Amino acid sequence: MFLVERREAFEMKLLITFTVFLLVLVGCSKDPETLVREGYDEAEMGAAIARARKEVDEFVKVLAATNADSFSVKAPIKDANGTEHFWITDVRYDKGEFVGKIGNDPGIVENVKIGQEWRIKKEEISDWMYVRGEKIHGGYTIDPLLATMEKSEGDAYRRKLVR
Protein backbone atom coordinates (compact mmCIF):
# COMPACT_ATOMS: atom_id res chain seq x y z
CA MET A 1 0.00 0.00 0.00
CA PHE A 2 2.82 2.42 0.92
CA LEU A 3 4.58 1.83 -2.42
CA VAL A 4 1.35 2.52 -4.33
CA GLU A 5 0.89 5.86 -2.52
CA ARG A 6 4.52 6.84 -3.20
CA ARG A 7 4.12 5.93 -6.88
CA GLU A 8 0.88 7.94 -7.14
CA ALA A 9 2.57 10.92 -5.46
CA PHE A 10 5.53 10.64 -7.84
CA GLU A 11 3.20 10.44 -10.87
CA MET A 12 1.26 13.48 -9.63
CA LYS A 13 4.49 15.49 -9.20
CA LEU A 14 5.60 14.42 -12.65
CA LEU A 15 2.25 15.46 -14.15
CA ILE A 16 2.35 18.85 -12.40
CA THR A 17 5.96 19.46 -13.49
CA PHE A 18 5.13 18.56 -17.09
CA THR A 19 2.02 20.79 -17.07
CA VAL A 20 3.98 23.76 -15.70
CA PHE A 21 6.69 23.17 -18.31
CA LEU A 22 4.09 23.18 -21.12
CA LEU A 23 2.44 26.35 -19.81
CA VAL A 24 5.79 28.12 -19.60
CA LEU A 25 6.76 26.91 -23.07
CA VAL A 26 3.48 28.05 -24.63
CA GLY A 27 3.49 31.33 -22.71
CA CYS A 28 7.06 32.15 -23.70
CA SER A 29 6.61 31.34 -27.36
CA LYS A 30 3.73 33.75 -27.89
CA ASP A 31 4.74 37.19 -29.15
CA PRO A 32 2.83 40.24 -27.93
CA GLU A 33 0.35 41.37 -30.58
CA THR A 34 2.25 44.64 -30.97
CA LEU A 35 5.40 42.85 -32.15
CA VAL A 36 5.80 42.65 -35.94
CA ARG A 37 8.76 40.55 -37.05
CA GLU A 38 8.20 40.38 -40.82
CA GLY A 39 5.99 41.31 -43.75
CA TYR A 40 6.97 44.95 -44.10
CA ASP A 41 9.41 46.70 -46.43
CA GLU A 42 12.62 47.38 -44.47
CA ALA A 43 13.73 50.19 -46.82
CA GLU A 44 10.36 51.89 -46.30
CA MET A 45 10.79 51.47 -42.53
CA GLY A 46 14.27 53.02 -42.70
CA ALA A 47 12.87 55.99 -44.63
CA ALA A 48 10.07 56.39 -42.06
CA ILE A 49 12.60 56.47 -39.21
CA ALA A 50 14.73 59.02 -41.08
CA ARG A 51 11.68 61.23 -41.66
CA ALA A 52 10.67 61.05 -38.00
CA ARG A 53 14.17 62.07 -36.90
CA LYS A 54 14.29 64.89 -39.44
CA GLU A 55 10.93 66.29 -38.26
CA VAL A 56 11.31 65.67 -34.50
CA ASP A 57 11.64 69.38 -33.70
CA GLU A 58 8.05 69.85 -34.95
CA PHE A 59 6.97 67.25 -32.38
CA VAL A 60 8.95 68.98 -29.60
CA LYS A 61 7.14 72.27 -30.34
CA VAL A 62 3.70 70.64 -30.17
CA LEU A 63 4.70 68.77 -27.01
CA ALA A 64 5.92 71.97 -25.35
CA ALA A 65 2.62 73.68 -26.18
CA THR A 66 0.69 70.62 -24.95
CA ASN A 67 -1.36 71.10 -28.09
CA ALA A 68 -2.64 67.51 -28.46
CA ASP A 69 -4.44 64.76 -26.55
CA SER A 70 -1.47 62.39 -26.23
CA PHE A 71 2.21 62.21 -27.10
CA SER A 72 4.53 59.24 -27.72
CA VAL A 73 7.99 58.57 -29.08
CA LYS A 74 9.33 55.26 -30.34
CA ALA A 75 12.60 53.99 -28.89
CA PRO A 76 14.84 51.23 -30.21
CA ILE A 77 15.88 49.21 -27.17
CA LYS A 78 18.69 46.66 -27.36
CA ASP A 79 19.91 43.74 -25.29
CA ALA A 80 21.69 40.45 -26.03
CA ASN A 81 18.54 39.13 -27.76
CA GLY A 82 18.36 41.92 -30.35
CA THR A 83 16.62 45.24 -30.89
CA GLU A 84 12.95 46.00 -30.34
CA HIS A 85 11.13 49.29 -30.89
CA PHE A 86 8.75 50.45 -28.14
CA TRP A 87 6.28 53.30 -27.98
CA ILE A 88 7.15 55.43 -24.96
CA THR A 89 3.98 57.01 -23.59
CA ASP A 90 3.23 59.88 -21.21
CA VAL A 91 6.19 61.67 -22.75
CA ARG A 92 7.85 64.83 -21.54
CA TYR A 93 10.94 66.52 -22.93
CA ASP A 94 13.79 67.28 -20.55
CA LYS A 95 17.23 68.63 -21.55
CA GLY A 96 17.45 66.95 -24.94
CA GLU A 97 15.82 63.70 -23.84
CA PHE A 98 12.34 62.30 -23.94
CA VAL A 99 11.18 60.67 -20.73
CA GLY A 100 8.14 58.43 -20.46
CA LYS A 101 6.90 54.91 -19.85
CA ILE A 102 7.35 51.73 -21.88
CA GLY A 103 3.97 51.36 -23.58
CA ASN A 104 3.87 47.68 -24.53
CA ASP A 105 5.07 44.26 -23.46
CA PRO A 106 8.45 43.12 -24.80
CA GLY A 107 8.69 40.25 -27.25
CA ILE A 108 12.41 40.22 -28.02
CA VAL A 109 14.36 42.13 -25.39
CA GLU A 110 14.28 41.23 -21.72
CA ASN A 111 15.71 44.40 -20.17
CA VAL A 112 12.44 46.37 -20.00
CA LYS A 113 8.86 45.88 -18.89
CA ILE A 114 5.61 47.66 -19.61
CA GLY A 115 5.20 50.80 -17.50
CA GLN A 116 8.92 51.16 -16.78
CA GLU A 117 10.31 54.69 -17.06
CA TRP A 118 12.60 55.16 -20.08
CA ARG A 119 14.78 58.00 -21.30
CA ILE A 120 15.95 58.47 -24.87
CA LYS A 121 17.92 61.22 -26.56
CA LYS A 122 16.07 63.18 -29.21
CA GLU A 123 18.39 62.03 -31.99
CA GLU A 124 17.96 58.33 -31.08
CA ILE A 125 14.17 58.02 -31.43
CA SER A 126 12.79 55.92 -34.26
CA ASP A 127 9.43 57.73 -34.44
CA TRP A 128 7.12 60.16 -32.72
CA MET A 129 3.41 60.83 -32.78
CA TYR A 130 0.76 62.93 -31.20
CA VAL A 131 -2.98 62.46 -31.33
CA ARG A 132 -5.57 65.20 -31.72
CA GLY A 133 -9.10 63.88 -31.56
CA GLU A 134 -9.14 60.85 -33.88
CA LYS A 135 -6.14 61.94 -35.95
CA ILE A 136 -2.57 60.65 -35.64
CA HIS A 137 0.21 63.10 -36.54
CA GLY A 138 3.65 61.61 -37.15
CA GLY A 139 3.71 57.87 -36.47
CA TYR A 140 5.57 57.38 -39.74
CA THR A 141 6.68 53.84 -38.87
CA ILE A 142 3.01 52.83 -38.91
CA ASP A 143 2.94 53.23 -42.71
CA PRO A 144 5.25 50.28 -43.54
CA LEU A 145 3.36 48.13 -41.03
CA LEU A 146 0.01 48.66 -42.76
CA ALA A 147 0.93 45.83 -45.15
CA THR A 148 1.05 43.41 -42.19
CA MET A 149 -2.47 44.23 -40.97
CA GLU A 150 -5.87 42.88 -41.86
CA LYS A 151 -7.44 45.12 -44.51
CA SER A 152 -10.06 46.57 -42.14
CA GLU A 153 -7.44 47.40 -39.50
CA GLY A 154 -5.12 48.97 -42.08
CA ASP A 155 -7.97 51.01 -43.54
CA ALA A 156 -8.91 52.27 -40.05
CA TYR A 157 -5.34 53.47 -39.51
CA ARG A 158 -5.22 55.08 -42.96
CA ARG A 159 -8.29 57.15 -42.07
CA LYS A 160 -6.60 58.38 -38.87
CA LEU A 161 -3.11 59.12 -40.19
CA VAL A 162 -2.44 62.74 -41.15
CA ARG A 163 -0.09 62.76 -44.14
Q: Do 3 and 57 lie in a common domain?
A: no
Residue type, 109: V
Q: What is the pLDDT of residues 76-106, one digit of tens each?
A: 999 999 999 999 999 999 999 999 999 999 9
Q: Which domain holds residue 126?
A: 42-162
Question: Would the pLDDT of 32 be above 80?
Answer: no
Model confidence, pTM:
0.77
User: What CATH number should be reported for the domain holding residue 147?
Assistant: 2.30.30
Residue 157 CA, chain-centre distance (Å), reads: 17
- Number of structural domains (the chain) is 2
Residue 115 CA, chain-centre distance (Å), reads: 11
Instruction: State residue 17's pLDDT score.
Output: 45
Q: What is the rounded CA–CA span in Å between residue 69 and residue 132?
A: 5
In a domain, 37, yes or no: no
Q: Do 88 and 141 lie in a common domain?
A: yes
Q: What is the rounded CA–CA span in Å between residue 72 and residue 70?
A: 7
Q: Do 52 and 21 lie in a common domain?
A: no
In a domain, 35, yes or no: no
